[in-house]
Amino acid sequence: MGSVPWSVFLGAFVDELLRLGVEDVVVSPGSRSTPLAMVFDRSDFRVRVDVDERGAAFFALGLAKASRLPVCLVCTSGTAAANYYPAICEAFAARVPLLVLTADRPHTMRGLGATQTTDQLKMYGDMTAFFHEMPLPDGSPEKIAFARQIARESVIRATGTPMGVAHLNFPFAEPLVPDLSVPELFSAGRAAEAPVLLRPRRSLQPEIVERLNTAIAGKRGVILCGEGDYPPEILGLAKRLGFPVLADPLSNLRRFTDAAIVDNYDNVFRREDMPPIEAVVRFGQYPVSKACFSKLNSLRPLTVVVDEVESRDFNHLTDVFVAAESADFILASGELRNDIGSEYLETWAALNDRERSKIEGAREDSGCEGRYVMPLIDGIREGSLLFSANSMAIRYLDTFYLKAEKALHVMCNRGLNGIDGTLSTALGAAQRFETSTLLTGDLAFLHDINALYLRRELDTNLTVVLLNNNGGGIFEMLPQKSDEPYFERLFLTPHGADFSAIAAGFGVPHVRVSDPEGFAEAYRDAQSRPGIEIIEVRTALSDVKECYVRYC
């Protein structure tokens, strides 16, 4: 070990991350991670503390999902690191950048029965874009240079194509408390100029444009937009091709009322007079709608998939794969043409309007719990985050979130479609917005109830709209549905939880409403106050299937 304290190794690592634009770290308390936690706390990082590693990882996921910048996670050794795994799986599938920094026992204690020790080497398997076992820290110039380079490498890998998770495993020997008094704690080994990562945009070469134009020439088709952020130029592409844009709620395209945007596509796919589809241009994952991908699977149209690295095509339909980011492709697509006129697009627009009229009828239907989405969209503030749970919440959003000239940021953990970590992820994403809303069912909310603890840590506005039908209502529409006793116990799982008491235990305001008018008033008030608030809507399990059958 050199004459410079070993804490400088960590200081150089943290400083280089800051110079690369990484600003957030989520720490879960623990002993072995003391060196990392204390150095991050002394730095200019924004430090959040979450006592639950599982929730902390989802909180970091939400931060990174909203910013598209890497977020650091710090935990102690053993099962603490294992609790990160669900969020890492979601980050891998959803292409979200995380820097996972796990503390570990030194090599001399591993495999010998030392407490709180497990095999952490590549413990996340293929879910990471990068793994490195770090050396025991020391203050030598060589190790300091290495610390800065591995920080750069981690960010390069986490923000690559696709974005993902970089995992660094830090062994620490006792004593664990670092020396923070060193003048060069963060400046040792720092280059005069900050590192720069440049990722040039791609263009569409003329031969690619020609092949695409030839492939779709004369065909009637659609543009499918799954989760993502798409530039407004997609409207021009739609009109040049004569293809409607079928806009998933997570595409953030329902902010446009242009006739080319079809928001009720799920309903149109269920109609007998649905227009023929001979070609598909798909960006991102398949949309939420099962009717959409099931119908396409039966029709098997010519399919063009645009994605950075993979088809994500479980229907096995890909005829043409274009390796490009969606936004790059759209911005460079000015020469794409299809001379079929506007009649096909107008037919889709007319059917979309008919379905909108039908869906609007849910406002007066007291037996439909999904109807609360419409006053939510009416009342949500411009520029807000709208985060959705999976299961019924995202399906209600797909149906009842009707396009409007209101810019919203709509997100959901659709990488693996899980219900775990929903509240934590929403709270993380909410850090990037002045006002935020989470639309969730009761089971997803219960699954992550510990996240309410974060009200003590955060100064943020998040309104939780809790649709409580006392169980797993989605199973009423699945093949498991049965009148046998096992169905209620194994699938519906009625819990009888008193959410007002739970909220009170965490010091979180809670109100229960019974109609859309009362909801609208409570929702308006909640958005005007800082902190987490819960608006609970009590419904019956029978309302789920009835609502879905009538409007979806």
Residue 114 has what pLDDT? 85
User: Which three-class secondary structure string do you get for 473-527?
Assistant: HHHHHCCCCCCCHHHHHHHHCCCCCCHHHHHHHHCCCEEEECCHHHHHHHHHHHH
**Distance of alpha carbon 231 from alpha carbon 228, whole angstroms:** 10
In the listed set 354, 383, 406, which residue is the last one of a domain according to the structure? Answer: 354
Structure tokens at 486: 């096992």
What sign for the dihedral angle of Cα 102, 171, 128, 37?
positive
The reply to whether omega before 231 is within 30° of 0 (cis) is: no
Q: 373 with 346, same domain?
A: no
The pLDDT value recorded for residue 285 is 94
C-alpha angle with apex 498: 492 to 503, nearest 5 degrees? 120
Q: What's the order of all strands across the beta sheet hosting 510-513?
A: 409-412, 385-388, 436-441, 461-468, 531-538, 510-513
What is the secondary structure of 105-129 as a DSSP string? --GGGTTTT-TT----TTTTGGG-S
Is the residue at 116 inside a domain?
Answer: yes
Do the domain assignments include residue 199?
no
Q: Which of the 8 DSSP states describes residue 404? A: -
In a domain, residue 478? The reply is yes
Q: Give the per-residue pLDDT at 489.
A: 83
27: CB partners within 8 A, 6+ apart: 33, 36, 37, 40, 41, 47, 48, 49, 50, 56, 74, 75
Same domain for 371 and 264 = no
Q: Are residues 32 and 155 in the same domain?
A: yes
Say whether both 497 and 421 belong to one domain: yes
Do 175 and 168 touch, CB atoms closer than 8 A?
A: no
B/e letters for 241-265, b = 16+ CB within 10 Å, e = fewer, are bbbbbbbbbbbbbbbbeebbbbbbb
Q: List the structure tokens of 197.
A: 């990562």
Asked if residue 201 is part of any domain, the answer here is no
Same domain assignment for residues 397 and 456:
yes
Assess if residue 518 is contained within a domain: yes
**Would you state the pLDDT for residue 315?**
94
123 and 210 together in one domain: no
240 found inside a domain: yes
Structure tokens at 94: 């959803």
Same domain, 374 and 498: yes
Q: 235 and 155 in one domain?
A: no
Are 392 and 489 in a shared domain?
Answer: yes
- Is residue 195 situated within a structural domain? no
- CA distances to 2, 32, 173 from 143, in Å: 10, 21, 16
Structure tokens at 344: 């096909």
Residues 229 and 135 in one domain: no
Let me know whether 481 and 420 are in one domain: yes
Structural tokens at position 177: 């408390």
CATH number at 308 reads: 3.40.50.1220
Q: Are 253 and 245 in contact (CB under 8 A)?
A: yes
Instruction: Give the CATH number of the domain where residue 143 resides.
Output: 3.40.50.970
How many Cα atoms are found within 13 Å in the side-chain-facing hemisphere of 498? 4
141: preceding bond cis by omega (within 30 degrees):
no
How many domains in the chain? 3
Residue-by-residue pLDDT tens, the chain, 552 positions? 347 899 999 999 999 999 999 999 999 999 999 999 999 999 999 999 999 999 999 999 999 999 999 999 999 999 999 999 999 999 999 999 999 999 999 988 888 888 888 999 999 999 999 999 999 999 999 999 999 999 999 999 999 999 999 999 999 999 999 999 999 999 999 999 999 998 888 889 999 999 999 999 999 999 999 999 999 999 999 999 999 999 999 999 999 999 999 999 999 999 999 999 999 999 999 999 999 999 999 999 999 999 999 999 999 999 999 999 999 999 999 999 999 999 999 999 999 999 999 999 999 998 899 999 999 999 999 999 999 999 999 999 999 999 999 999 999 999 999 999 999 999 999 999 999 999 999 999 999 999 999 998 998 999 999 999 998 878 877 778 888 888 888 888 889 999 999 999 999 999 999 999 999 999 999 999 999 999 999 998 777 777 877 887
- The residue range of the domain holding 490 is 365-551
pTM over 0.85: yes
**Is residue 267 located within the same domain as residue 385?**
no
Distance between CA atoms of residues 199 and 324, nearest Å: 13
Which of 171, 195, 223 is the last residue before a domain boundary?
171
Tell me if 73 is assigned to some domain: yes
